[in-house]
Structure 1
Amino acid sequence: MNIHKNARLTPQGRALLVQRVLEEGLRPTEAAQAAGVSPRTVYKWLARFRDEGEVGLRDRSSRPHASPRATAEPVRAQIIERRRQRQTYRQIAQALNLGHSTVARLLQREGLNRLGALAPGRPDNRYEHAAPGDLLHLDIKKLGRFVRPGHRITGERQRKSRGAGWEYVHVAIDDHSRVAFSTIYPDETGQSACRALLAAVRYYAHLGIHFKQVLTDNGACYQSRRFARLCQRLGLTHRRTRPYSPRTNGKAERFIQTALREWAYARAYASSDQREQHLSAWLHQYNWHRPHASLDYQPPISRLGFSVNNLMRLHT
């Protein structure tokens, strides 16, 4: 129960007040003085206790029993119906001869004050390619460099790693298996994007995966001629997401969230260099051991169908 911070009496305090008067024999004025309230308050709680028992000592709603000037239910239904037809506040108020504030207050109470609430939800954008190598998702996450633990750990915003700059985690994830790979570079230029793509292709080739397509957002590095030439040389069809639609590249976006929670911000690193050193170990944990909800809680590597001998060779 939400008790006001300045309240003199809680339900327990009211019960004690009644007990002092009815059982201990204190006069109402004496009980009021002991509780720091007025005698009128004591008489009020005594009357409620006699009429309703302990239930009468609980807080009651401040809503009136009757509201003669409240909006009638048929009018309320018309307001909601017109709003679902995407009419504005002014149109509804003029059509029903109501005040603008009345319409706004009722629609806000119903959760229909924003037109976005009227639009149907977008359908799920879940898709999965049939085999490893059909599609490679690429994305980049910008992280701050630091030479001492930052405010996320210490809580102090005065001490900063001045001049440390930024570093960029280039993320790659196979659409079918969810096997992920990441490298860190000092920028997000076309050259770094190309180096990251080459490193990812070599890593996945070690697992026997050879890609046909690559999916990226519309970042400048992915639109560079250097990146286009590399995709052509590797035989990769380059696809781009629709502008302002990160859900199209959702597997990479979701992997970045997991990486931030379980690697980048999971512990207190002494510096960003130490954080980078832990990336490969975390990626191994993610690919080989961490259960994945969309894979029936099996690790991503289980999708590649390795034999026991291959599994032992690649796992060591």
Structure 2
Amino acid sequence: MSHRNARLTVYGRRLLDDRVRSGRPVAHVAAEMGISRLTAHTWIRRWRTEGETGLCDRPSRPHTIPHRTPPGLEASVCRLRSERKLGPARIAPVPGLPASTVHRILTRHGLPRLAWLDRPTGRPVRRYERDRPGELAHVDIKKLGNIPDGGGRRVLDRVAGDRNRQATTTARHSCKPVIGYSHIHSAVDDHSRLAYSEVLPDERKETAAAYWQRAHAFFAAHGITVQRILTDNGSCYKAKLFTQTLNAAGIAHQRIRPYRPQTNGKAERFDRTLLDEWAYLRPYASNDERTTALADFLHTYNHHRCHTALQGQPPISRANNATGQYT
């Protein structure tokens, strides 16, 4: 394609050739069209040797590149990337090439970035998305350390934070400091990315089953009928109570392969968003303060936060468009 300031397009080159073939001097035609005689002679020569196709744009890449890296060396670079999953800076010293040359080789052969690869296998991660809301919901649990009253190390210095942690005691055992975790149970719809989370004290089977009943009601309130859920292999999800809870609602249960959290990637990515935009967004003075802030985050995430996988829409818009609801 011609650039925006080009004097000649394909039509202009054809017009140049027609005028010259009519018997007019090349210099006069070039002056009329605002180009040099050298440029005019170039297009006339290309038309005479190549015909109509010679007037079209073509890349300026040379036909031969004498200093290009030998094919065998390029193959070894590609093998290092595929087998050892190294970046250009670490591959470069092995064959003795500059890192910039290694990067061009990888780009030329279409090898994906390391961030796009599944580290155990070295294969590109295969992205998927269900066609309708409710076909699949990703469910996961994220553990966060409890915050002592008055704040921990993120609010105070190390000594003061440890002092607050030791001073916070439980109601039953007045001499035992509260050192434990909060468990954030989350469910994310695969198609719309609509999410529902709760901060709960544990990840027992009774807690997980009760949480899913509330999450199921949340999705139903937005017109989403959940047909299948995807979880990891946690003990609470393998329990009979959790299976019975799903069967009572007519929901199928699917578990990922062991040690393959990429399969449940939408829930894993949502957990990372939870940490960045809620749990570690600002220092909290207590565990209750952090728990209270979760509701505001969920409202922002579902109703206002633009999602790159949804073409800039928030999850609630995608869900409403698919289910026919409008809020």
Q: CA deviation at 1:300?
A: 0.5
User: Which residue of structure 1 aligns with residue 156 of structure 2?
Assistant: 154
State the match for 2:129 in structure 1: 128
- The whole-number CA distance in structure 2 between the counterparts of 1:106 and 1:310 is 58
Q: Pick one of 197, 220, 225 that aligns with 2:235.
A: 220
1:188 to 203, 206, 214: 203
Equivalent position of 2:279 in the other structure:
264
Specify whether residues 153 and 239 from structure 1 end up closer, same or farther in structure 2 by C-alpha distance, changes over 3 A only: same
Task: Find the partner of 1:244 among 250, 259, 262.
Answer: 259
State the SS of the aligned residue for 1:183. Answer: strand
Measured in 2, the distance between the counterparts of 1:188 and 1:108 equals 51
5+ residue gaps in structure 1? 1-72, 88-103
2:245 is aligned, of 185, 209, 230, to: 230
Q: 3-state SS of the aligned residue for 2:236? A: coil
Q: Does 1:178 align with 2:221?
A: no
CA shift in 2, pair 1:130/1:108, >3 Å: same
Q: Is the partner of 1:151 in helix, strand or coil? A: coil
Distance verdict in 2 for CA 1:77–1:206, change over 3 Å = closer
Alignment: residue pair count: 220
Cα distance per residue 1:51-110 (max 9 Å; x no partner)? xxxxxxxxxxxxxxxxxxxxxx99x959958x76x99xxxxxxxxxxxxxxxx9953967
Q: How has the CA–CA distance of structure 1 residues 154 and 80 changed in structure 2, closer, same or farther, with 3 Å as cutoff?
A: same
State the match for 2:94 in structure 1: 107
Q: Root-mean-square deviation (CA), in Å?
A: 3.6
Q: Which runs of structure 2 are paired with 1:295-314 in the superposition (5 Å)?
A: 295-305=310-320, 311-312=326-327
Question: Are the aligned partners of 1:80 and 1:107 in contact in 2 as well (CA < 8 Å)?
Answer: no
Matched letter for residue 218 of structure 1: N
Question: Cα gap change, 1:269/1:109 in structure 2, threshold over 3 Å: closer, same or farther?
Answer: farther
1:125 and 1:248 in contact (8 A); partners too: no
Sequence identity (%): 41
CA distance in 2 between partners of 1:265 and 1:279 (Å):
12
The TM-score normalised by the length of structure 2 is 0.59
Q: Are the aligned partners of 2:155 and 2:285 in contact in 1 as well (CA < 8 Å)?
A: no
Q: Distance in 2 between matches of 1:120 and 1:186?
A: 36
> Once superposed, which parts of structure 1, at least 4 consecutive aligned residues long, lie more than 6 Å away?
108-112, 116-120
Residue-by-residue CA offset, 1:235-268 (whole Å, 9 max, x unaligned): 1110001111111000000001011100011012
Aligned to 2:140: 139
Q: Secondary structure at the match of 2:150?
A: coil
In 2, Cα distance between the equivalents of 1:78 and 1:181?
Answer: 48
Within 5 Å, which residues of 2 pair with 1:5-44? none
Offset at residue 179 of structure 1 (A) = 0.4
Among residues 217, 224, 239, which one is paired with 1:209 in the alignment? 224
Instruction: Find the residue that maps to 1:168 and give its secondary structure.
Output: strand
CA contact (8 A) 1:175 1:251 kept: yes
Query: Which letter maps to 2:238?
Result: Q
Retained in 1: the 8 A contact 2:155–2:161? Answer: no
**Letter of the structure 2 residue corresponding to residue 203 of structure 1:** F
Paired residue type of 2:137: L
- 1:176 aligned partner, one-letter code: H
- The amino acid across from 1:131 in the alignment is R
Q: What residue identity is the alignment partner of 2:249? A: L
Query: Which AA in structure 1 matches 2:128?
Result: Y
CA apart distance, 1:230: 0.7
Distance (Å, rounded) in 1 between the aligned partners of 2:140 and 2:231? 6
What residue identity is the alignment partner of 2:291? E
AA aligned opposite 1:130? D
Alpha-carbon offset, residue 184 of structure 1: 1.3
Q: CA deviation at 1:155?
A: 4.1
The one-letter code sitting in structure 2 at the alignment partner of 1:252 is: A
Cα deviation, residue 272, structure 1: 1.0
CA distance in 1, matches of 2:74, 2:326: 66
Which one of 275, 294, 305 corresponds to residue 290 of structure 1? 305
In the TM superposition, what is the alpha-carbon distance from 1:210 to its structure 2 partner? 1.1
With over 3 angstroms needed to count, the CA separation of the structure-2 counterparts of 1:120 and 1:183, relative to structure 1, is: closer
Q: What letter matches 2:94 in structure 1?
A: L
**Do the aligned residues in 1 keep the contact of 2:146 with 2:182 (CA within 8 Å)?**
yes
**Offset, 1:157:** 5.4
Which of 169, 172, 178 is residue 184 of structure 2 equivalent to?
Answer: 169
1:133 corresponds to which letter in structure 2?
G
- TM-score, with structure 1 as normaliser: 0.61
